[in-house]
Amino acid sequence: MQTSTFVLVPGFWLGGWAWDGVADRLRAAGHRAVPVTLPGLDPADPQRATATVTDQAEYLRGVVAEQPDPVVLVAHSGANLPTSVLLDRDPTAVARVIYVDSGPVADGAGFDPSVPADLAELSLPPFDQLQASLDGLDDDALRTFRERAVPEPGAVLREPVHLDNDARRDVPTTIVACSYPSEVLLKMAREGHPMMAETATLRALDVVDLPTGHWPMWSRPADLATTLATATS
């Protein structure tokens, strides 16, 4: 069996704890699993609200460099921002990148450039205001999400990324499609939808369907662990 090191990066408001159910299953299958809490998402850090996407990318680069080969970088949701920056800076840093209900970002893109400059951080909004699917999450999962969520640094939300290394598009990539079927995501990519346009430029892409909501590490952890492991075999 081929074993891999999975560096697991959660999206907005989350720390490495969000991957516990997936990490345990990957380890049980003989892989290494390294959940990451990005700068800005550690509640014990008094300077966390000043974190930027660049800070997160540099931290992530250090984590990856510490791991044995081959490294598979798994980026959920908004973790696509620092992941895209990392791959632009060093396309050889990882053997594969797997985006979970997400995808690579384009040069000049940001999560929401309209976020006011004086907004230091953004707390997890009420669930009925989240523009993401909560399918598959029970009351316990929602309660834990609410209790453990950390406000997202404002700069991470509004800071555009600057990418200029075409070699980032050669990194073997898998997209795990959850909230939308893969055929919809690929159609969006072909039509130049801002959320998926960069996906159309990738030269080594696989897309896998895992129908559920936006947080499959909670709604389908066993299936997500299997999907991640299969993507590297």
Q: Give the pLDDT band of residue 69 (cuts 50, 70, 90).
A: confident
Q: Which residues contact 76 (CB under 8 A, 6 or more apart)?
A: 8, 9, 10, 11, 14, 18, 99, 100, 101, 102, 215, 217
Q: What is the pTM of this model?
A: 0.96
Q: What is the mean pLDDT of the chain?
A: 95
CB atoms within 10 A of CB 139: 7
Write the Ramachandran bin of 62: left for phi over 0, alpha for psi from -120 to 50, otherwise beta.
alpha
Extract the tokens encoding 4: 């891999």
Q: What is the pLDDT of residue 24?
A: 98
**Do residues 155 and 117 make contact, with C-beta atoms less than 8 angstroms apart?**
no
Q: Helical H runs in 90-214?
A: 139-148, 154-158, 182-190
150-162 burial: b if 16+ Cβ within 10 Å, else e: bbbbbbbbbbebe
Q: Please name every residue paired with 209 in a beta bridge, in sequence order, or none if there are none.
A: 177
Q: Report the C-alpha dihedral over residues 232, 180, 150, 91, rounded to 10 degrees.
A: 40
Segment holding 20, helix H or strand E? helix 20-28
DSSP, collapsed to helix, strand or coil, labels residue 34 as: strand
DSSP, collapsed to helix, strand or coil, labels residue 230 as: helix
Over residues 161-174, the pLDDT tens digits come to 999 999 999 999 99
Over residues 208-219, the pLDDT tens digits come to 999 999 999 999
- Domain 5-231 -> CATH class: alpha beta
Q: Report the length, in residues, of the chain.
A: 233
Q: What is the pLDDT of residue 1?
A: 57
Domain map of the chain by residue range? 5-231
Q: Give the pLDDT band of residue 113 (cuts 50, 70, 90).
A: confident
Over residues 11-34, the pLDDT tens digits come to 999 999 999 999 999 999 999 999
**DSSP letter, residue 17:** G
Q: Classify residue 133 as exposed, middle or buried by CB count within 10 Å of its CB (0-12, 13-18, 19+).
A: middle
